[in-house]
Chains A and B, each alone.
Chain A
Amino acid sequence: MLTRLRPVLRGGVKASLPSLTKTVSPLRGYSSLVASHDSPNLVNLSEAPFLLNSANAALSHPELAGTAAAEGQAKQLNLYQSVNDALKTALETDETAVLFGEDVAFGGVFRCSMDLQERFGADRVFNTPLTEQGLVGFGIGYAAYGSTAIAEVQFADYVFPAFDQIVNEAAKYRARSSSNFDAGGLTIRMPCGVVGHGAMYHSQSGEAFFSHSPGIKVVMPRSPFQAKGLLLASIRSKDPIIFMEPKILYRASAEYVPTEDYELPIGKADVMQEGSDVTIVGYGTQLYHIHAAAKMAEQKLGASVEIIDLRTISPWDRDTVFESVKKTGRCVVTHEAPRTGGIGAEVAAEVQEKCFLHLESPVQRVTGWDTHMSLAFEDLQVPNVTRIFHSIKKAIEY
């Protein structure tokens, strides 16, 4: 954050600011860093144990077995670069594919579409006027013709003008025409989640709103390797997909990613770590905190934690979760979004119904509180390592 001083645009004013050393926290004096200097909540996102840290690790990933991608190369990318790589691959392999949204032409505000207009031309990669309902509806029509539409909504917080188009149109296009028409060629990408300073309108994670609607799928990747494979599968899926990209990971998370074309399965959760005492279900950025909490639980409580990344949030992979909970007898679900009506509620309800006789403790939800995200209080609102650890402890000691 301590970046160089840029020249001030207007002439004549060169501010002499008071010394920085007086601020409470030089790194992030403006916002809500509440962790003590040695707090377990200071999670370094780039050092997560699950990130594939060599080309070999990426190419030998079991989900690539037998594919051409496994025989190719891999290079280290962060998440926005891997999204860019997936978009490039999609545009190369499908001549009907178009990519559009607000500020997409110059590379997008998060740089995910960088250089794509130069490569594929302004007819295939273009800016739309500033209207989410317009651009999503446009994408539905483009897809209904049988072509491939990749729409970008600049922030998940700003998707709501398009809610009608998504829930009443994209989701119902197939059903109302009994599959005569469908909007399956549409993928709507959007950056989501907290980022440390997004406050009320640059932090939301609205997956639960969309999960409530039949006819669409909701996908959220956890890392660059996952992002490329899941995004390509989403773009090629015959169902409309909301593809939510945790924006804090765009630059924070780096991983080896195969350079060739590959897909990871939609609708399939990933058991990231096997364990015997408690199952933790999560997705997106939460997995970084879950892993840190699981490690802490192993060290402090001797607990063996199984970690599941849903990847596809809706419809989610119930078999994988049920199988795990039947084994461990305990379940914790986490997400950033508020608790009421969230994905955690859905997972908890299904788990108690399908795994009741196997449960040793109540299913717990570790979630954002039922309030709006604040600039000053974000660190107290989003589930952190402490809260996830506490839930593991409670599950085991119940």
Chain B
Amino acid sequence: MLRAVSNHACLRQALSSTRTLRTGLQKHVHKTQFVSVRHVSTTKPTERAEVEKPIVQNGELVFPGALRTSFVNNMTFVDPTTQDSMPTYRVVGPDGVQIDKSYKIDLPVDTILKMYKDMVTVSIMDAIMFDAQRQGRLSFYMVSAGEEGMAVGSAAALKPQDHVYSQYREQGAYMYRGFTLDDFMNQLYGNKHDQGKGRNMPVHYGSRELNMHTISSPLATQLPHAAGTAYAQKMAGVDGVTLCYMGEGAASEGDFHAALNIAATRNCPVIYFCRNNGYAISTSAIEQYKGDGIASRAIGYGIETIRVDGNDIFAVHRATKKAREIALRDQKPVLIEGMSYRVSHHSTSDDSFAYRSRGEVESWQRKDNPIVRLRKWLELNKHWNEEEEQKFRTQARKDILTAFSKAEKVKKPEIVSAFTDCWEDIPPHLKEQQQELGEILDTYPEHFDLSAFEGGRGGLHDK
């Protein structure tokens, strides 16, 4: 009600005013609001937004729902199938040769080598952990084969103070930002060193230290969170953005719409990175949506958007770096759609050959993937050779297996962890339930074997 009154007042003011409304309003708003970040305590954003809203243009009232529209006298429906598909940006092609010569790859060689090594390490870790799950030593695992480039390349364009929301196939981003092999293994085994205290399924990583928010299994729930975190960064006036990963399947969830729309309307410095790998478990992208990928939707929300070749780590990196600049400078969201192919099964619970052919998967494996492409570039530019490759792979495998063996032997967290962290403190009724468990364990000690847990029975801390 209040809003209606205020709009009405604004309308009257505008109609009686001789003030000419400027075109290019969007730019002006962004600029003003970017400034407002630095003066949070003194500006009144609501008032300003109302003053700047165009009410009349060319002597006619402007429909408030489409400020930039014009009038035509021939009736045409827009048929999306007749429009061009958004192009996919590439720096380096599948043969490792640079295509975009206008761009000078300005990354230090050491950084490029770290990107390469992290991708290789992740791929070896994935293979080992996939096997470990098949042997029954791990309850679950998700491989990121084919998508290492999107995770590593985007993470490499961020700053440590940036916040990251993952879906669940971005182990490369974790590794690049400093999650160690021990961190990975402790989480996968849910042992007492796991930051999640053994509560989560494997691959649900998280790290406060690295500003990486703990992964949640439900899809797309992290997208609105990312907008909120970015808005908090904006309000705090910090030099930081939020990057949020998702898959093309998750983009079908209602939270995708909610997040992009709120991020756009609140001008949140957030980068949405969609890993379009062609499959949501068994559902192919063709069944998932009819439009031009995910990128086309972001445009509908008024979000600056680019589509990149996800197998080209340079394209991913460059786009993310630029997106970060835009998000920070203009204080607004950006969406990147990385095109790739899920070479792996969805997870260890999935056998993807039930719904796609081996030939399709093998074609992608053989013809193009981000690791091979970067290796080709490195070798063409004399930064890497076969000998270094073999040496590095051997060492990486050894390091992974060492961390693996170490983590597997570590005890599970204390059993009190079944009760802690649900609330800040254990409330009285839950304390009672904790004691109820203690009574059971003491009355029937022969029914239980708590030797796998740190401190055994004593780890309940109920007395």
Residues of A within 8 A of B (CB): 1-6, 8-18, 20, 22-37, 39-41, 102-103, 105-107, 109, 127, 129-134, 157-158, 160-161, 196-202, 339-340, 369-372, 374-377, 380-381, 385-387, 390
Contact = CB atoms under 8 A, between A and B. Distances in A.
B444 to A, nearest CB: 5
B218 A30 contact: no
B217 A130 contact: no
A11 B365 contact: yes
Interface of B: 123-124, 126-128, 130-132, 134-140, 143, 145, 189-190, 197-202, 204, 216-219, 249-250, 252-255, 280-283, 287-289, 343-345, 349-350, 354-355, 361, 365, 393, 397, 401, 404-405, 408-409, 412-413, 415, 417-419, 422, 429-430, 433-434, 437, 440, 443-444, 446-453
B127 A369 contact: no
A17 B131 contact: yes
A109 B446 contact: no
B135 A17 contact: yes
A17 B343 CA distance: 23
B127 A371 contact: no
Contact of A5 (B126, B135, B250, B446): B135
Contact of B412 (A40, A369, A376): A376
Contacts of A37: 449
B283 A34 contact: no
Contact of B280 (A5, A9, A130): A130
Given A25-B452, A158-B218, A376-B199, 19 more contacts: A3-B136, A12-B393, A15-B127, A24-B451, A26-B136, A30-B139, A32-B412, A34-B452, A34-B453, A35-B448, A130-B252, A199-B199, A369-B433, A371-B430, A375-B190, A377-B198, A377-B417, A380-B415, A385-B447
Contacts of B354: 106-107
5 contacts: A8-B130, A32-B412, A33-B449, A161-B254, A199-B201
Contacts of A25: 452
* Best-buried of B124, B254, B344 by chain A (most CB within 10 Å): B254
Nearest 9 A/B pairs, CB to CB = A376-B198, A201-B217, A1-B136, A197-B139, A377-B418, A129-B252, A13-B127, A15-B128, A374-B199
A375 B137 CA distance: 14
B123 A10 contact: yes
B422 to A, nearest CB: 5
A169 B287 CA distance: 26
Nearest to B198: A376
Nearest to B419: A371
Contact of B429 (A29, A106, A340): A340
B397 A30 contact: no
B351 to A, nearest CB: 9
Contacts of A132: 253
B408 A22 contact: yes
Given A8-B131, A197-B140, A372-B199, A30 B189 contact: yes
Nearest to A30: B139
Contact of B404 (A17, A109, A371): A17
A230 to B, nearest CB: 26
B217 A202 contact: yes
B130 A369 contact: no
Given A11-B365, A369-B419, A371-B430, A23 B350 contact: no
B201 A103 contact: no
A103 B282 contact: yes
A1 B200 CA distance: 19
Contacts of B126: 10
B255 A375 contact: no
Nearest to A18: B405
Given A17-B131, A157-B218, A371-B430, A9 B418 contact: no
Nearest to A378: B418
Contacts of A15: 127-128, 131-132, 397, 401
A18 B344 contact: no
A130 to B, nearest CB: 4
Contacts of B216: 201
B254 A35 contact: no
A11 B255 CA distance: 37
A386 B404 CA distance: 35
Nearest to A8: B127
A161 B419 contact: no
Given A13-B128, A129-B252, A369 B134 contact: no
B443 A390 contact: yes
B152 to A, nearest CB: 16
Contacts of B288: 129-130
Contacts of A17: 128, 131-132, 135, 137, 401, 404
A30 B190 contact: yes
A18 B409 CA distance: 11
A27 B136 contact: yes
Given A13-B123, A23-B137, A106-B282, A131 B253 contact: yes
Given A9-B143, A29-B408, A200-B217, A377 B201 contact: no
Given A10-B365, A375-B190, A130 B283 contact: yes
A14 to B, nearest CB: 8
Contacts of A28: 136, 139
B350 A371 contact: no
A200 B198 CA distance: 11
Given A15-B128, A200-B199, A386-B444, A376 B349 contact: no
* Best-buried of B136, B401, B413, B419 by chain A (most CB within 10 Å): B136
* Best-buried of A12, A36, A374 by chain B (most CB within 10 Å): A374
Nearest to A137: B254
B252 A134 contact: yes
Contacts of A197: 139-140, 201
A18 B401 contact: yes
Contacts of A130: 219, 249-250, 252-253, 280, 283, 288
Nearest to B217: A201
B161 to A, nearest CB: 28
B123 A370 contact: no
B440 A386 contact: yes
A303 B447 CA distance: 20
B252 A35 contact: no
Contact of A127 (B136, B190, B283, B450): B283
A8 to B, nearest CB: 5
B282 A380 contact: no
Nearest to B129: A15
Contacts of B139: 28, 30-31, 196-197, 375
Contacts of B393: 12
B131 A375 contact: no
